[in-house]
Amino acid sequence: MAPRNRTNDRLRMTLALLAAHQAAGTAVAPSELMAQAVAQVPFDAKEAELLSGGVPRGFKALTTATSKLVKAGWLVKGRSGWTATDEGVRAVHAFTDSEQFVNAMISGAPVPETAAEAPAHAPAAPEQLGEEAQAAQADVAVDPTDVAQAKTALAEDPTPPDVTPTLEVSDSEPEHAPTDTPAEEAWHDQPQSVALSGDFDPLFGEAGHWSSDLRELQFVWEPTENTWKQTLQLPAGTYQFKILVNGSWDENYGRFGVRDGANHELHLLSDTSVTFRFDYATKDIETS
């Protein structure tokens, strides 16, 4: 049996807790939100190990994984904090099983409409889920006990614990846990999200004009290549764009990897599938 993927358990829990905070009208910083998710789904021994920057391996993996929520359109990372979108809130309640939740997130499966009353709180503990999506998922009913459990969890401990290697360790680690890989270590210095922003009006209309949160322009982290990547089918024309880091213009990169630099330019003589690759180490981008 494959080992439980606890990073994905925490990913669903993070969005569920954010939805609960929004429903309660309470603000929470992203780091505190993820710490609350860790409190609900504690690290095992491997995940509690510290990386070179002093961050637990499991916390870094969760931070990186939240970019998938942004790409799915279920989470918006703004200057003032994170926001669960209406679709993201529906996903938490429609996909109570974590495997269905992540499969739908990765595959882009439609989120079923929920019952009339909007969800008030998040489920207390997500189920096991897989890493790759296989197919669109069927509708799943909401379990009322999940709502009560999450409400109790938030009421009993509204202040998240510090994320340190002294967090509870489970006994579920595989006997022969894999050693560090270059891809895992590469996560350490990566941002939470990367996106294109430019004059992509021909493809997305007004929504594509220098957007900072358009789902289709969000990059995906490729650990085997140590780059962020996105592929678009673009109509013929000239495009100008920049790279946005962590969902805002506070950190953006133009030509030659210059922060706040001149716009990148792309000239296409015909309709073309273009793959954008962004290397956060050099802050530059390649197209192919």
Confidence band of 15 (pLDDT split at 50, 70, 90): very high
CATH class belonging to 191-287: mainly beta
Strands 272-279, 264-268: pairing is: unpaired
Q: What are the respective helix, strand and coil percentages of the chain, to the nearest 5?
A: 35, 20, 40
- Residue 241 has a pLDDT of 93
Domain with CATH 2.60.40.10 in the chain: 191-287
- Residue 3 has a pLDDT of 53
- Find the DSSP H helices in the chain: 6-24, 30-40, 45-48, 57-72, 86-94, 98-107, 144-156, 182-186, 201-204
Average pLDDT over residues 154-166: 46
Confidence band of 179 (pLDDT split at 50, 70, 90): very low
Residue-averaged pLDDT of the chain: 75
- Residue 155 has a pLDDT of 52
Residue 144 pLDDT more than 80? no
Contact between 14 and 66 (Cβ < 8 Å): yes
> In this prediction, what percent of the chain has a pLDDT beyond 70?
71
154 vs 197, residue with greater confidence:
197
Q: Which amino acid is at 193?
A: S
Q: Which phi and psi (to 5°) does residue 37 adopt?
A: -65, -40
